[in-house]
């Protein structure tokens, strides 16, 4: 019996050892599994493949290169912004979700979100994209199951409304829709991304100078306020290179809020509208006459009698009652004299000259296509007369500015551009007028500012040799022209001994005020605005002043 009990104890001990080994093996295997899983989780992975299985991939957005001004100062960039989405399968009470989200997002389309959340198979529903961090925090604090966040790229504009029209805007996917932003998509390139990955592309450098742009916008704001105008626009153009140094239109738009661009009052008046610009067109008419050998500055024209064309009669606003030289036709702004020069050339030559200046075809810049010119249906006697002083033909102001720059650029075509040119050489356009014609027109513009009888005296800036021409045009309406609304403008260049820069400032429907003795013509509003603008920007543009005596 003793031997039997000993054998049983030995068997029992062996069984315990076997059981202990089994338990130890299980524990070791479990521990090893934990260790292996920790090692796997510790290995870094690409963020695109570490999404939770239940999280679907959001729609592709785009990373964009920065936009900077000619000196490298930032105009537009991408920022990481939180976006809000919902997982319908995780939402416990969709009515509660919509009700509470509406307290933070008052413009939320609650009905649509309710319908989206009713489908439990929809695992990814956009609630709001690109919100401010403060809004995201408020939504987070609601503690709603099924509401989550992810970071995306959103376009930001440090200058706010500055240069808003020309910069354009992007859509919710950060894709360019208009302006320079659209140009980037079409010509430069953007990169599709599934998360907030910033672009590695070099910045797009514009011809714009932030300092000059600010001065232009500031002067337009002040002018519109002072003269109670409905809008204003202006451009500063490098005549030699075609670079647009500044371009603005009032009312301004914020590129971060693209819905403003849908309002007709907020269009870019420099590019998206066409207008009869009035007597600034005489600059082109006289250039044609000089270039065709039809007149010289001292050629006499008998402007005492109005011009007749069928049932139409064209006469001067302030008749001179004596013959005028061509120089005086310009400085007195004689419609009759300009019409006589156009009739001397004939409709074919006038039309051909305007076409060579690029005024009869639609123009395109990096900002996009300009509004197409509105031309006379027939180039007959009356349309030839009226076109000579800027009526019966409507042009986008930027397109007109480019044509005027061509006249002043020793006759070489100026192609306006919003991109910085690093080659400082002159524009390489085809010749349209002779260098002699260019210099004669620059001299006439200077005389119109410094002569006592000139219309542009209020644009003079001592030392900077400013030249210019006024334009006051009745606004076209159905069946004729309005009797109490005008567009007043001033075309200027400086320095006139060798024109480098052109400015074109426009006021839409200015009012007569006490300061102007009730007048609303360009000589009392657009001209002084131009003088104040040039006084601010000339030094920024590197134009050195001369002594007052030498400028006369």
List active site positions: 279
Rounded Cα distance between 518 and 512, Å, is: 4
- How far apart CA 187 and CA 196 sit, in angstroms, is 23
CA 87 to chain centre: 39
Within its chain, how far is the Cα of 253 from the centroid? 9
Cis previous bond, 495, omega within 30: yes
* CB within 8 Å of 382: residues ≥ 6 apart: 309, 310, 312, 392
Say how many Å lie between the first and final Cα of the chain, rounded.
Answer: 141
Q: Which residue has the tokens 């987070």?
A: 140
Got the DSSP string for 185-251? IIII--EEESS-----SPPEEBS--HHHHHHHHHHHHHHHHHTT-SEEEEEEEETTT-BEEEEEEES
Q: How far apart are CA 466 and CA 491, in angstroms?
A: 10
Instruction: Name the percent of the chain in helix, strand, coil, to the closest 5.
Output: 40, 20, 40
In contact, 372 and 347? CB cutoff 8 Å: no
Distance (Å, rounded) from C-alpha 467 to C-alpha 438? 13
**Distance of alpha carbon 166 from alpha carbon 183, whole angstroms:** 11
In degrees, rounded to 5, the angle at the alpha carbon of residue 291 between the alpha carbons of residues 306 and 378 is 50
Cβ(128)–Cβ(105) below 8 Å:
yes
Question: Within a 13 Å sphere around the CA of 461, how many CA atoms are in the beta-carbon half?
Answer: 26
Tokens of 147: 């509401």
d(CA 227, CA 507): 9
φ, ψ of residue 463 in degrees (nearest 5): 95, -15
> How far is it, in rounded angstroms, from Cα 322 to Cα 274?
35
Contact present, 489 and 506 (Cβ < 8 Å): yes
Locate 122 and state its tokens.
């929809």
SS3 506: strand
Residues 470, 279: contact at Cβ < 8 Å?
A: yes
N residues, the chain: 552
Both tokens assigned to 98: 């919509």
Q: Residue holding tokens 């200027």?
A: 492
- The torsion region of residue 59 among left (phi > 0), alpha (psi -120 to 50) and beta comes to beta
Q: Within 10 A of 387 (CB to CB), how many other CB atoms are there?
A: 26
């Amino acid at each position: 019996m003793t031997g039997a009990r000993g054998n049983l104890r030995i068997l029992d001990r062996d069984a315990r050892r076997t059981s202990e080994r089994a338990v130890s093996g299980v524990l070791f295997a479990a521990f090893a599994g934990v260790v292996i899983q920790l090692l796997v989780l510790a290995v870094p992975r690409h963020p695109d493949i570490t999404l939770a299985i239940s999280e679907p991939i959001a729609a592709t957005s785009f990373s964009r290169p920065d936009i900077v001004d000619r000196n490298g100062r930032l105009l537009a960039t991408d920022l990481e912004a939180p976006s809000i989405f919902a997982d319908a399968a995780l939402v416990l009470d969709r009515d509660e979700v919509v009700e509470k989200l509406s307290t933070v997002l008052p413009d939320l389309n609650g009905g649509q979100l309710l319908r989206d959340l009713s489908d439990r198979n929809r695992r990814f529903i956009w609630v709001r994209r690109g919100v401010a961090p403060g809004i995201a925090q408020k939504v987070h604090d609601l503690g709603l199951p099924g509401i989550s966040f992810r970071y995306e790229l959103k376009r930001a504009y440090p200058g706010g409304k500055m240069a808003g029209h020309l910069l354009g805007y992007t859509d919710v996917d950060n894709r360019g829709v208009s302006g320079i932003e659209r140009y980037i998509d079409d010509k430069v390139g953007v990169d599709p991304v599934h998360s907030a990955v910033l672009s590695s592309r070099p910045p797009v450098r514009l011809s714009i100078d932030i300092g000059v742009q600010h001065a232009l916008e500031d002067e337009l704001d002040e002018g519109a306020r002072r003269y109670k105008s409905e809008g204003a626009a202006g451009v500063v153009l490098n005549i030699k290179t075609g670079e647009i140094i500044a371009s603005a239109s009032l009312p301004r738009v914020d590129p971060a809020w693209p819905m403003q661009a849908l309002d007709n009052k907020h269009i870019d008046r420099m590019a998206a509208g066409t207008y009869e610009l009035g007597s600034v067109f005489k600059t082109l008419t006289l250039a044609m006459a000089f270039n065709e050998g039809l007149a010289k500055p001292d050629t006499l024209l008998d402007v005492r009698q109005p011009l007749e064309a069928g049932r139409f009669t064209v006469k001067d606003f302030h008749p001179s009652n004596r013959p005028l030289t061509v120089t005086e036709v310009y400085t007195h702004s004689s419609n009759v004299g300009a019409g006589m020069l156009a009739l001397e050339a004939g409709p074919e030559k006038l039309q051909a000259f305007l076409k060579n200046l690029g005024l009869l075809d639609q123009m395109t810049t990096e900002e996009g296509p300009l509004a197409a010119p509105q031309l006379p249906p027939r180039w007959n006697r009356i349309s030839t007369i009226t076109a000579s002083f800027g009526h019966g033909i409507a042009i986008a102001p930027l397109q007109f500015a480019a044509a005027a720059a061509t006249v002043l650029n020793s006759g070489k075509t100026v192609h306006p551009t919003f991109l910085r040119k690093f080659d400082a050489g002159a524009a390489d356009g085809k010749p349209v007028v002779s260098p002699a014609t260019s210099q004669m027109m620059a001299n006439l513009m200077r005389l119109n500012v410094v002569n006592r009888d000139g219309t542009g005296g209020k644009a003079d800036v001592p030392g900077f040799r400013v030249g210019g021409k006024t334009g006051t045009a009745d606004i076209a309406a159905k069946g004729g022209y309005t009797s109490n609304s005008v567009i007043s403008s001033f075309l200027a260049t400086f320095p006139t001994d060798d024109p480098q820069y052109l400015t074109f400032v426009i006021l839409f429907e200015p009012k007569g005020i006490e300061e102007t003795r009730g007048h609303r013509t360009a000589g009392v509003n657009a001209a002084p605005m131009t003088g104040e603008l040039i006084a601010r920007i000339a030094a920024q543009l590197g134009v050195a002043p001369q002594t007052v005596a030498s400028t006369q």
